[in-house]
Structure 1
Amino acid sequence: MSFVFANHPQPSLPSHAPQVVGILGGMGPAAGADFVRLFVQACTDRMEALGIPVRDQAYPEHWLAQVPIPDRTAALTDTRPGAHQPADPMLQATGRLAALGARVVAIACNTAHAWHGILQQRFPQMVVLHGVQEVVAELAARQVQGVGLLATRGAYEAGLYQRELERARIVCFVPEDAERELLMQGIYDGVKAGNYPLARQRFEAVSMALQERHGVSTLIMGCTEIPLALSEHSGLEGVSLVNPSEVLASALARHAYGQLQSAG
């Protein structure tokens, strides 16, 4: 018996593989896992834009360091010598990603960007993406003039978004103290505890307060837990929700495929 094999043309592939990238997660675990999903989608979009056939083998090698890291907000308010800071486990996890070959790393936590400079200084051979700057750059490109900011107490107190938005001349409106407490309840008693209805109610209440008080039509969901419970399909009307994780995932995909040219 003889067999005839059809000579099917093979899809063209890039001349070399995309870069190995890393994701620093664990802050919290659900947000880190969701970031991987967003990154895979961003890679699909990037391949389609470059004309690269979308297939399993064309996705970049990517590693998720899902490690226990001390609470970032608590650390920013407790600077006593000996207090358990996130820097050491973040540095250790980033070192593991570097050992696995990662050349670009994304931090899947907004508040953890308070330690971005330490990570970048310790690993100069790697690009540690600054998610806050990526978000502000996108808003500036869209010519957004004012935004409301939903974030953790630590992020507010550290001024992570406020500083970058001010440099871009974008007005930033923040919640009042009682509203910040509602956000923290939504994050800790809501998403982190698995109570998503509670989280959605708290996040929507603060969002509507910012919208009514300042007339903002754009809100930054500046904590990775917030998009897990708040979405465009929520009770908010006329408000554009900016998910920093989506912006950062797209930036990571751009770096992964940065040296590849269109296959067409």
Structure 2
Amino acid sequence: MSRTHVVGILGGMGPAAGADFARLFVQACADHMRARGLPVSDQAFPEHWLAQVPVPDRSNALESPGPGGHQPLDPMLQAMGKLAALGATTVAVACNTAHAWHAALQERFPQLEVLHVAREVAQNLAGRGIREVGLLATEGTYRAGLYDQALRQAGVQCHIPSTEERERLMRGIYEGVKAGNMALARECFAGVADALARRHGLSVLVLGCTEIPLALSAVPGTEGLELVDPAALLAQALAQRAFA
């Protein structure tokens, strides 16, 4: 049995996305073992911990800067401390918008490697020769520019939806996925995805919110459009660290 490292997942943003990320991580571990010719068994999976903690809304916090109970950093730091105490060496944050606080998390816990989802996505896209994408995300992710710098440094141009389309995405996230109305979420996400892809002639869209892939796996009527799930790429990166 190969030696593995303890890793952690910072979830709760929302809980469904955190639980789904754990599923993606387990799948990535199994894929990693098969690729290395190792038998897949219960005992071969690395020790991993999922911290599902209540965290204030990230987009609202970015829109209303300043101290207060509406800020998510303190709960995230508390959860990181628990993961560190459990022996985690690497942590993945199962929320795109929460990466606006990535630098603060990494600075407070220098003994841990806190993976950065946008950098993992940019590295993957550039490695596959993709030079132009569309980004579906939360308003907070757009405002924080989380993907802009990472994609630009990797030589990938990023197109974003219009103001009205971004409002539709937020409706799909809050009134759709978070409220359990997947039909509404799918309608909102697919409509924006189709419009963005057709307007810029895109073949690749990045689903830059962990809620979006829960409702959107394909865009009806748009053949050949690739939907990139950052959570899946982040889960693969975490699996690689666990088996390193």
After TM superposition, the score normalised by the length of structure 2 is 0.98
1:215 and 2:201 aligned = yes
The corresponding residue for 1:3 is: none
Tell me if structure 2 keeps the 8 A contact 1:204–1:236. no
Deviation at 1:64, TM superposition (A): 0.3
Secondary structure of the residue aligned to 1:18 is coil
The corresponding residue for 2:16 is: 30
Q: 1:106 aligns with which of 71, 92, 104?
A: 92
- Structure 1 gaps of 5+ residues are 1-12, 259-264
Tell me if structure 2 keeps the 8 A contact 1:110–1:222. yes
Q: 2:29 aligns with which of 27, 32, 43?
A: 43
1:134 and 2:120 aligned = yes
- Specify which structure has the higher proportion of helix: 2
The corresponding residue for 1:238 is: 224
Tell me if structure 1 keeps the 8 A contact 2:219–2:225. no
The corresponding residue for 2:75 is: 89
Structure 1: which 4+ aligned runs deviate by more than 4 Å?
none
Tell me if structure 2 keeps the 8 A contact 1:75–1:83. no
Residue type at the aligned position of 2:54: P
Residue type at the aligned position of 1:87: L
C-alpha change, 1:187 and 1:210, in structure 2 (3 Å) is: same
Secondary structure of the residue aligned to 1:172 is strand
Show CA shifts across 1:100-155 (max 9, x none): 11111000000000011111111111111111100010000011110000000000
Residue type at the aligned position of 2:4: P
The corresponding residue for 1:119 is: 105
After TM superposition, the score normalised by the length of structure 1 is 0.90
The corresponding residue for 1:162 is: 148
Show CA shifts across 1:190-211 (max 9, x none): 0000000000000000001111
Residue type at the aligned position of 1:176: S
Residue type at the aligned position of 2:75: P
Secondary structure of the residue aligned to 2:31 is helix
Secondary structure of the residue aligned to 2:191 is helix
Deviation at 1:161, TM superposition (A): 0.6
Q: 1:144 aligns with which of 117, 122, 130?
A: 130
Percent identity between the aligned chains?
63
The corresponding residue for 1:76 is: 62
Q: Distance in 2 between matches of 1:67 and 1:229?
A: 23
With 163-172 and 138-147 compared, the bigger mean Cα shift is at: 163-172
